[in-house]
Amino acid sequence: MRPYILISNDDGYQAAGLQYLIKTLRNVADLLVLAPDGPRSGYSCAITTKNPFTFHRVSHEEGLEVYACSGSPVDCVKLAFNILLPRLGRRPDLVVSGINHGDNSSVNTFYSGTMGVVTEGTFQGVPSIGFSLCDMASNADFSACGPYILRIVEKVLREGMPPLTCLNVNFPRTDGTYGCSMDCNPATECGEVSAKSHEKDPYRGIKICRMAHSNWVEEVEECRRPGSGSPYYWLTGRVNELELEAEDTDRWALYHGYVAITPQTLDSTAYNLLNAWREDPELCR
């Protein structure tokens, strides 16, 4: 029997990245797509608690059903596992999210609705992978991602994932310079590399990475309303690289043309501090 894969994302079911993912994975698996009915970027692991949500079937054909949901990315996964999959009588072998339009490495992981899907899939007990392309351009080119997606998906289908562990996969952009999302300095600014021509495979291979330490700066911009002049605020900004030279990080891999696989754990206990604080008699008296 063919593998069965649940696909969702945070850009909505019509997004080019999701359509490319469908095209790629149809060759190897039956697919259930349950994705937001529009953009939900920056939704993180948000859940809809104050309102109900709905979903409807968009299309169905042999081996591919597509549903759209009014909720958040995590709502989509909860809806799939609690309502839709039981009705269909199947349990997925894998949850795949993306391909996101934009970088989800390092600090961006935390704000990412793409990775919200992956977190939720993991809590549902199914191996889960998020794919993101570090290019927010409307004509972003996903075409080089396919072989890497298949290689990674087939490995996870074959080997599974340890409990509470998932994968965050980011592809560098291929528009002539490697790099992360449009908020980042392109790799050429590192003075090291420029992209290979895009004839065949523009990527240099895969790196298994840790999350780089970075943060966002210049994040909020004030605007003024015409007429009243009252202020309002937009999120904006750029990633501030805090360890750009560290070759074992996702950011380094991306800037240098590698597909970055960051294995992530959902046990976020800080064991070092746990052990230190346990020895404080004053605190735990």
Residues in the chain: 285
116 in Cβ contact with 152 (< 8 Å) = no
Q: Which is nearer to a second copy, 89 or 191 (by Cβ)?
A: 89
Q: Which is nearer to a second copy, 192 or 219 (by Cβ)?
A: 219
Minimum distance from residue 163 beta carbon to a second copy (Å): 7
Q: Which is nearer to a second copy, 207 or 256 (by Cβ)?
A: 207
Name the residue with tokens 């939900």.
Answer: 40
Give Cβ neighbours of residue 263 (< 8 Å, ≥ 6 apart): 165, 166, 167, 168, 208
**DSSP state at residue 111:** G
Please give the full DSSP string across 120-169, using - where no structure is assigned. HHHHTTS-EEEEEES---TT---TTTHHHHHHHHHHHHHH---TTEEEEE
Minimum distance from residue 119 beta carbon to a second copy (Å): 6
- Tell me, what amino acid is at 188? T
172 in Cβ contact with 205 (< 8 Å) = no
Minimum distance from residue 81 beta carbon to a second copy (Å): 8
Q: Which is nearer to a second copy, 145 or 177 (by Cβ)?
A: 145
Minimum distance from residue 70 beta carbon to a second copy (Å): 9
Minimum distance from residue 285 beta carbon to a second copy (Å): 7
Q: Which is nearer to a second copy, 62 or 285 (by Cβ)?
A: 285
